[in-house]
């Protein structure tokens, strides 16, 4: 199992400080869900791991090696972006072939195409697909290679109930195969069903890291959404009290 270590990661866009010193260590196969409101730093953190954002301070280590200025480590990561932006004039089968050409090897797209019932859309141009169908294509591209780490940014966007169940089963199977899966999501049911570990981010900091049961125990509540609401309220009260001092 390859490891990801994040040390003192900071990133600002102009005056907006998005990451304010993130430390994180991932060393074993599990499903980690990263939660937090919009603008909490979730996607910036993921993009820093992928080398798509260069941090102002701190390091990202992949299997003990600093990833700055490197690209070859990315071959061990499958990535599903939050918004599927494909060349609009390409047909679905052309898009899959393009990814295979870039990777230099054939992936397991056929099995995933059958799983998500995409056969009727293979000759369609991406521009005419519905949002849900585009997301299914997004899922196929993210899972078609057997890599040890998967990073899924809001993977359920636009999926119908049947496709959602199949995606959850697929994620569980990947974990069983010994992979580490990092998910950002707003869907609490997904968190409840899949998470081995929760990371809650707020304003560029990690405010909680632990299991679902540890979160419920900390806030004395059986509902994850209620626990998160209590976490936000305690943070708000803390800020207000520090301002009054």
Model confidence over 46-97: pLDDT tens digits? 999 999 999 999 999 998 899 988 888 988 999 999 887 888 899 999 999 9
Domain map (residue ranges) of the chain: 4-210
pLDDT tens digit string along 176-200?
Answer: 999 999 999 888 888 889 999 999 9
Q: For residue 199, which of 33, 43, 38, 44 has the smallest C-alpha distance?
A: 33
Burial of 228 (0-12, 13-18, 19+ CB in 10 A): buried
Alpha helices in the chain (DSSP H): 42-49, 92-103, 109-115, 131-143, 161-176, 188-194, 212-219, 224-244
CATH architecture of 4-210: 3-Layer(aba) Sandwich (3.40)
pLDDT at 142 over 60: yes
pLDDT at 137 over 90: yes
Separation of alpha carbons 118 and 133, rounded Å: 8
- Asked if 209 and 199 touch (Cβ cutoff 8 Å), the reply is yes
What digits encode the pLDDT tens for the residues 2-41? 789 999 999 999 999 999 999 999 888 899 999 988 888 9
211-241 confidence digits (pLDDT tens): 999 999 998 988 888 988 888 887 766 544 4
**161-176 vs 131-143: helix crossing angle, rounded to 10:** 10
In degrees, to the nearest 5, what angle opens at C-alpha 96 toward C-alphas 92 and 101? Answer: 140
Is 60 exceeded by the pLDDT of residue 242? Answer: no
């Amino acid at each position: 199992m390859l490891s990801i270590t994040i040390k003192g990661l900071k990133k600002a866009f102009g005056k907006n400080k998005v990451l304010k010193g993130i430390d994180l260590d991932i060393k074993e196969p599990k499903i980690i869900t990263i939660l937090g409101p919009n603008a909490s730093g979730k996607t910036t953190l993921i993009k820093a791991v992928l080398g798509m954002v260069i941090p102002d301070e701190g390091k990202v280590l992949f299997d003990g090696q600093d990833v700055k200025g490197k690209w070859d480590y990315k071959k061990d990561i499958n990535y599903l972006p939050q918004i599927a932006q494909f060349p609009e004039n390409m047909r679905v089968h052309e898009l899959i072939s393009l990814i295979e050409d870039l990777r230099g090897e054939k992936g397991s797209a056929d099995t995933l195409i059958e799983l998500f019932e995409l056969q009727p859309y293979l000759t369609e141009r991406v521009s005419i697909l519905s949002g849900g169908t585009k997301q299914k294509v997004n899922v196929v591209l993210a899972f078609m290679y057997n890599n040890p780490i998967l990073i899924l940014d809001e993977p359920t966007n636009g999926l119908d109930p049947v496709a959602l169940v199949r995606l959850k089963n697929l994620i569980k199977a990947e974990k069983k195969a010994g992979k580490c899966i990092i998910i950002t999501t707003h869907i609490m049911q997904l968190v409840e069903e899949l998470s081995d570990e929760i990371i809650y981010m707020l304003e560029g900091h990690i405010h909680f890291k632990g299991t679902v049961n540890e979160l419920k125990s900390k806030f004395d509540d059986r509902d994850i959404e209620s626990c998160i609401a209590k976490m936000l309220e305690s943070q708000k009260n803390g800020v207000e009290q520090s301002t009054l001092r």
